[in-house]
Amino acid sequence: MIEIDRVTKIFTGRGAPFKALDDVSVTIRENEFFTLLGPSGCGKTTLLRVIAGFEAPTKGQVTLEGKDLVALPPHKRPVNTVFQSYALFPHMTVAQNIGFGLEMQDRPKAEVKKTVDEMLDLVRMTEMADRKTSEISGGQQQRVALARALAPRPRVLLLDEPLSALDFKLRKDMQIELKRLQSETGITFIFVTHDQEEALTMSDRIAVMNAGEIRQIGGPRDIYDHPAERFVADFIGDTNFLTVDLEAVEGEGATVRFASGEALQVRAPESGATTGKVTLAIRPEHASLTAPEGAVLRGVLENIVYFGTDTHYHITLDAGDRFVLREQNQPDQTQARSIGDAVGVHVPVSVGQVLRD
Ligand code: ATP
């Protein structure tokens, strides 16, 4: 639906020119909850602003259903934005805020009222319609900002860290609420966040960005289970990185050999697999503790940290690497391990992922 084709953005302010987007290409599908995820300063907001029309790309194309967007000013694009600061009008009521965009478009009064009522219902704010927005909570303001942006029925809604001002509990609730709003309205959402958990729970697909580039695009499970490179594996979730010998690649699988001499079948990288020393990524919850004899990894238990739902085991491997392993707790389970124990790490076949260089 939206095609971003080789977009580069170079800011030329007072200082040295700065490349905020470097040859970014991505296609966003209709009705999709698409997330731009990455650390602060990686260019997420800049890409959103290019789509909205607040910034012109230095190079490259942005099209919506094949039509050029770059030539259109922001207000002529079928796109609306929800900002981090909700930017509501404090002297107006909730209903007036929601109807504001429609009034500006000179829509008939009856139509404005009908849409405002629908939007109030959609964000569950009907009871608060006549309150001033200065007299409602942060979470409620967030809903009004969403309703106001959805009211003109844009084809695409851009959301720039819209939940970051909310406290933890409200944020969790709003994550579910946002996902519901997206599927009920069928509007394409492009969502910006630096919070990996937020991205994993809400998105249909995620683009992971770093230093102005998209490093990987995929569904949440894809990205989490099969990160392509170290940056992605490190940014999303916790990961153990081990240097191993890549002995053979057969299709999607690969054989690696650990320093212990044991071999294991794992996932090959999508491209660029060469034999020799490579980095293998293993998620803490994908491995389990076992006896040292015959295990692919062996070491000494350095620390045991209880987290309620699970326990983290910190191990120093014989080869000197650190390895963290996570096991789910059962009710009334007794701790069978002690610090200083010699332990083995069991890694199920195909769980490890060889990373691209
Ligand atoms: P955050 O999560 O902190 O908002 P971001 O990924 O959204 O980060 P951007 O706001 O897109 O990052 O900024 C990307 C880079 O471009 C940053 O290094 C920023 O300093 C720089 N930048 C943004 N706007 C301008 C500008 N108008 N002039 C010069 N540099 C800019």
The residue among 207, 202, 84 whose CA lies nearest residue 145 is 84
Ligand 1, atom 5: closest residue by C-alpha:
41
Closest-lying ligand 1 atom to the alpha carbon of residue 47:
11
| Superfamily designation of domain 238-354 | Nucleic acid-binding proteins (2.40.50.140)
Q: What is the rounded CA–CA span in Å between residue 206 and residue 113?
A: 36
For residue 330, give the 3-state DSSP assignment.
coil
CA of 38 to the centre of ligand 1 (A): 12
Q: How far is ligand 1, taken at its centre, from the CA of residue 112, in Å?
A: 37
User: The complex's ipTM?
Assistant: 0.94
Cα 23 to averaged position of ligand 1 atoms, centre (Å): 16
Per-residue model confidence as pLDDT tens for the chain (357 residues): 999 999 999 999 888 899 999 999 999 999 999 999 999 999 999 999 999 999 999 999 999 999 999 999 998 899 999 887 778 898 999 999 999 988 888 889 999 999 999 989 888 889 999 999 988 988 888 889 989 988 888 899 999 988 887 778 878 888 888 898 899 889 999 999 999 999 999 999 999 999 999 999 999 999 998 898 999 999 998 999 999 999 988 888 889 998 878 888 888 877 666 778 889 999 999 999 999 988 889 999 999 999 999 999 999 998 888 999 999 998 887 778 899 999 999 998 888 888 876
Q: Atom 21, ligand 1: which residue's CA is nearest?
A: 20
Q: CB of 225 within 8 A of CB of 270?
A: no
Pocket flag, ligand 1, residue 18 (CB < 6 Å):
yes
To test the ligand 1 pocket, which listed residue (42, 51, 160, 163) has its Cβ within 8 A of the most ligand atoms? 42
Whether residue 96 has its Cβ less than 6 Å from ligand 1: no
Helix crossing, 109-122 with 168-185: angle to 10°?
130
pLDDT on residue 345: 94
Please report the pLDDT score of residue 132 as a whole number: 93
Structure tokens at 127: 């009871």
3-state secondary structure of 210: strand
Query: What pLDDT does 270 receive?
Result: 73
The residue whose C-alpha atom lies closest to atom 27 belonging to ligand 1 is: 11
Q: Is 194's C-beta closer than 6 angstroms to any atom of ligand 1?
A: yes
Residue 20 CB–ligand 1 contact under 6 Å: yes
Question: Residue with structure tokens 């796109």?
Answer: 79
**2-225 CATH fold:** Rossmann fold (3.40.50)
Q: Model pTM?
A: 0.87
> Of all protein residues, whose CA lies closest to atom 31 belonging to ligand 1?
11
Residue range(s) in the chain whose domain bears CATH number 3.40.50.300: 2-225
Please tell me the distance from the alpha carbon of residue 305 to that of residue 307, in angstroms, as a whole number: 6
Q: What is the pLDDT of residue 273?
A: 62
What's residue 8's pLDDT? 97
End-to-end CA distance of the chain: 32
Q: What is d(CA 159, CA 82) in angstroms, rounded to the nearest whole number?
A: 5
pLDDT tens digit sequence for 75-128: 889 999 988 777 889 899 999 999 998 888 888 999 999 999 998 988 888 999
Q: Please give the pLDDT value at position 14.
A: 82
- 320 CB-near residues (< 8 Å, 6+ apart): none
Q: Yes or no: say if 357 and 280 are a contact pair by the CB < 8 Å rule.
A: no
What whole-number distance in Å separates Cα of residue 17 and Cα of residue 11? 6
Where exactly does CATH 2.40.50.140 map onto the chain? 238-354
Q: Please say whether the beta carbons of 117 and 109 come within 8 A.
A: no
